Structure 1
Amino acid sequence: MPLALLALAIGAFAIGTNEFVIMGLLPEVAGDLSVSIPTAGLLISGYALGVAVGAPALIALTTRVSRKHVLTGLLVLFVVGNALSALAPNYGMLLTGRIVSSLCHGAFFGIGSVVAASVVAPGKQAGAVAMMFSGLTIANVVGVPAGTWLGQAMGWRSAFWAVTALGVLGILAVGAMIPRQPADPEASLRQEFAAFKRPQVWLALAMTTLGFSGLFASYSYVSPMMTEITGFASGSVMWLLVVFGCGFVVGNALGGKAANRAPMATILVLFTALTVVLATFTFTAEYKPLAAIWLFLLGAVIFGTVPPLQARVMQEAPGAGTLASAANIAGFNLGNAIGAWAGGLAISGGFAYNDTNWVGALLSGSGLVLAVVAALTSRRGKHPVAVPEGESSTADAAPARV
C-alpha cells in the first residue's frame, strides 16, 4: 500500500471521528448548554452545511496550489476549529467551532480522492479511494466509540480535545508520507465548472445527497433512540456505535470492490437495500438484539455506497475530478444536514425517535428513484461505436471505470 494512502487514511480517521462523535454526545451537550436535543442536533446540520459550502469554495481558491500544501493547510484549519469547540463557553461558540472544523472536510476528501487515484494503477482507483475512506470507517469503530466514552466519562469537551490531537497527527502524516505534487499549471476553474453542465453529474450529486439524508434522519438521533425506545443503558451506546462502525468497515471494503466492476449497478442494489433497512428499522428498533443487527446492516449498506457514488461523479465529470469529487463530498454532508433537520422536525412534531427511520426511508427511496433515472438516461445516451472492419464492437460504448 502506498504510504500516501496511509496518510490520507489517518487524516480521514481524524475527520470522521470529529464528524460523528457529536451524535453519541447529544444528550450531554444539550444538558450542559441548556438546549433541547433537536437544537443540539443542529450542530450536525451546521457542520454538514459548512462542508457543503466550504468544499467547492476552498477547491476553487486552491486550484493552482500544491495538493500536499492544501491538505496540510486544511488539517490546520481542522485543528483550530476543534480547539474552539473544546473551549466553547456556550452553544453559539460550539456551533462556530463545528463550522470552522467542517470547512476542511469536503476539500480534504475531494483532493484526497484525486491524490489516492493518482498513486495507484489504472483500474484500481475506486479501491484506492476506498482505502482512504477506510480511515473514516475505522473512526466509526474506534474513534467515535472511544470519543463517546471519553465524553461521557470526562465531559464532552474532552472528546474535542482528543480530536484536536488527532488532527495534529494527521498534519504530521501528510507532511511525511504524501509526495510532493506540484500544482497543475494548466488547471482551470472554467474547465472544472464546465463539467457541471452535464445532467448526469447533477443526478450523481443528487443521489448522494438523498441517500445520505436518509441515513442521517435516523442516525443523528441514534443515542436517544437506543436509550429511550430500545431500552439500552446510556453506557451501551458506545458499543452500539462500534457495531455500526463495523458495518462501515465491511460495507466500504465490499463497495470498493464492487465499484471497480460496476459502479451504477452497485448503487442501485445498495440504495434498494438502504430503503428497506431504514423502513424496517422503525420496528426492529424496539427489540435489543434486532436493533443491534439493524445498526450493523445500516452501516454496511450506507457506506458501501460511498466508493461507487464517488466513482460515479468522477466518471461523469472528466477533466474536473477535483471539483466534482469535492462537490460529491459536499453532497454527502448536505444530505447529513437535510436528514438531521428532517429527523429533528419529526421529533419536534411529536413523533417517536424510531419514527425518524420512516423519514429516512422516504428520503433514501427518493435517491433510489433518481439512481434508476440516471441509469436509464445514461444507457440511452450511449450510441453504437463504429470500428474498423475486423475489430470487435459493442452496442454500447463501455463507460470509463474509476
Structure 2
Amino acid sequence: MPRAVYLLGLAIFAQGTSELMLAGLLPQIATDLHVSIPAAGLLISAFAVGMLVGAPILAVVTLRWSRRVAMLAFLAVFALTHVAGALTSSYGVLLATRVAGAFVYAGFWAVASVTAIELAGPEARAKAMSILAGGLTVATIVGLPAGTLLGQHLGWRAAFWAVAVLSALAIVGIRATIPRGRSENVPELRAELRSMTKPQLWLAYSTTALSTGAVLVIFSYLAPLLTETTKLPDAWVPAILALYGLGSLVGITISGRTADRRPFTTLAISLIGLGAAAVLLALVTATPWLAVPAIVAVGTFGFATNPAVNSRVFTVAGSAPTLAAAFNISAFNVGITVGPWLGGLALDAGAGYPAVGWIGAALALLALTTIPLASRAAAQPEYDRASSMTGA
C-alpha cells in the first residue's frame, strides 16, 4: 500500500479527533462561553450538518482542481477554523467555525477517498478505504480521550490548538507524498452527474445510511447506558469506550482485507453480527459482564461494514467516482444524524436505554435487506460490463 494512503489516514485522524472530542468538552465550553449544555450540544449538530452538505458541494466546486491542491486547501481551512475557535470568546463565532470546519472536512473525505482508491489500484479498494476510515477509528480510541483529557487539564481551547497542529502536520505529509498535477483521469461534471442516476448507487447509499445509523444510535448513548442501566461507575466509561474503539479497529482491518474479494459476503456477515450484538445488548443491558462484550461486538461488526460499503460505491460509480463518493459521505452523515435522533425519541417516550439496542438491530436488519437487491443488480450483464471497464 502506498505510503500516501497512510498519510491520508493521518489527516482523517486529525479531523476526526475534532469531530469526536466535543462530546467530552461540552461542560467546559458551556461554562466558558456562558451557554447551556444543550446550546453547547448544538456545536455537535452543526458539525454534522456541515458535513452533510459540504461533501457534494465541494466535490462539484473542486472537480477540475488537482486533488493535491484541493486536499491541502481543505486542510488549511480546517486548521484555521480551529485557530479561530480557540481564540474566540463568542458562541456564535465558535458555532460558525464548527460548520465551516465540517464543510471542508467533508470535502476532504470525498477527495481523499478517490485519491486513496486511485493510489491503491482496483484490487485493493476496500483495503485503502479501511486505512482511510481507520484514521477515524484511531481518533475514537486515542483522539477522543486525549482531547477530553487535554481539555480537562489545560482548557477546551488547548484541544482546538492540538487539532490545528495535527492538521498542519497532515499538510506537510500530503505535500511530501501526494503527486503534483492532476490525475490522468480528469473528472467531467456531466459524467459525474450521469453516474448519479444509477439505482445501484442509491441502493449503496441506503446501506451506508442504515448501517451507520444502527451503530450511532447505540454509540451516542453508551455513556448514560453504562452508568444508569448497567450501573457501572463513571470511571469505567473511558475504558469501555476504548475497548469499543479497539473492536472497531479490528473489524475495519479484517473487513479491509476481505471486502475486495467478497464484498457482499463481508457486508452480510458484518450486518448480521451487528444486529445480533445489538439484540444481545438490548437483552443484557443490566448485566455488566455480558453488556460490555456486546458493546465491543457492536463496534467490531459495525465498523466492519465501512470498507465494504465504500468499495461498493466506487465499483458502481465506475469512471466517475468523485460525486458518488461525496454523496456517500453525506449518506454516512444521514445515519449519524438519524440514528441518535431515533434513539432520543425512544428515550423521551420512556422506553429506557435497552431501546437503543432494539433500534440498532432494526436498522441493521433493514440494511441487510439491501444486500440481496444489490447482489442481483451486480449480476446483471450491463453492470458486469461497466465494472470490467473500470477494473472492479
Assess same fold via TM > 0.5: yes
Alignment correspondent of 1:123: 123
Rounded to whole Å, the distance in 2 between the matches of 1:3 and 1:385 is 31
Rounded to whole Å, the distance in 2 between the matches of 1:226 and 1:302 is 19
Asked if 1:268 corresponds to 2:279, the answer is no
- Identity of paired residues, percent? 35
Following TM superposition, by how much is the alpha carbon of 1:289 offset from its aligned partner in structure 2, in angstroms? 3.0
Compared CA separation, residues 88 and 311, structure 1 to 2 (3 A):
same
Tell me the amino acid that sits aligned with residue 15 of structure 2. Answer: I
Q: How does 1:1-400 map to 2 (within 5 A)?
A: 1-26=1-26, 34-35=35-36, 41-87=41-87, 89=89, 92-182=92-182, 186-379=186-379, 381-382=380-381
Q: Secondary structure at the match of 2:260?
A: helix
Query: Structure 2: any 5+ residue segments left out of the alignment?
Result: none
Q: TM-score, normalised by structure 1?
A: 0.87
Following TM superposition, by how much is the alpha carbon of 1:84 offset from its aligned partner in structure 2, in angstroms? 4.2
Tell me the amino acid that sits aligned with residue 256 of structure 2. Answer: G
Tell me the amino acid that sits aligned with residue 64 of structure 1. Answer: R
User: Size of the alignment, in residue pairs?
Assistant: 390
Per mean C-alpha deviation after superposition, the further-off stretch among 283-292 and 25-34 is 25-34
Q: Is the 8 A contact 2:212 2:302 kept in 1?
A: yes
Q: Is the 8 A contact 1:84 1:97 kept in 2?
A: yes
> What RMSD over aligned residues (CA atoms) do the two structures have, in Å?
2.8
Q: Is the 8 A contact 1:24 1:237 kept in 2?
A: no
Deviations 1:5-45 (A, max 9, x none): 121011011122122223344566567655356x6555443
Rounded to whole Å, the distance in 2 between the matches of 1:384 and 1:306 is 22
Rounded to whole Å, the distance in 2 between the matches of 1:181 and 1:291 is 51
Rounded to whole Å, the distance in 2 between the matches of 1:138 and 1:101 is 20
Per mean C-alpha deviation after superposition, the further-off stretch among 198-207 and 341-350 is 341-350
Following TM superposition, by how much is the alpha carbon of 1:177 offset from its aligned partner in structure 2, in angstroms? 2.0
Compared CA separation, residues 79 and 301, structure 1 to 2 (3 A):
same
Rounded to whole Å, the distance in 2 between the matches of 1:277 and 1:353 is 15
Deviations 1:105-159 (A, max 9, x none): 3322221122122223441222122222222222222112212232344444433
Rounded to whole Å, the distance in 1 between the matches of 2:302 and 2:331 is 14
Rounded to whole Å, the distance in 2 between the matches of 1:42 and 1:355 is 24
Query: Structure 1: any 5+ residue segments left out of the alignment?
Result: 387-396
Tell me the amino acid that sits aligned with residue 279 of structure 1. Answer: V
Compared CA separation, residues 302 and 170, structure 1 to 2 (3 A):
same
Q: Is the 8 A contact 2:378 2:384 kept in 1?
A: no
Rounded to whole Å, the distance in 2 between the matches of 1:385 and 1:91 is 52
Compared CA separation, residues 228 and 385, structure 1 to 2 (3 A):
closer
Compared CA separation, residues 4 and 19, structure 1 to 2 (3 A):
same
Following TM superposition, by how much is the alpha carbon of 1:61 offset from its aligned partner in structure 2, in angstroms? 0.3
Compared CA separation, residues 86 and 46, structure 1 to 2 (3 A):
same
Rounded to whole Å, the distance in 2 between the matches of 1:342 and 1:30 is 25
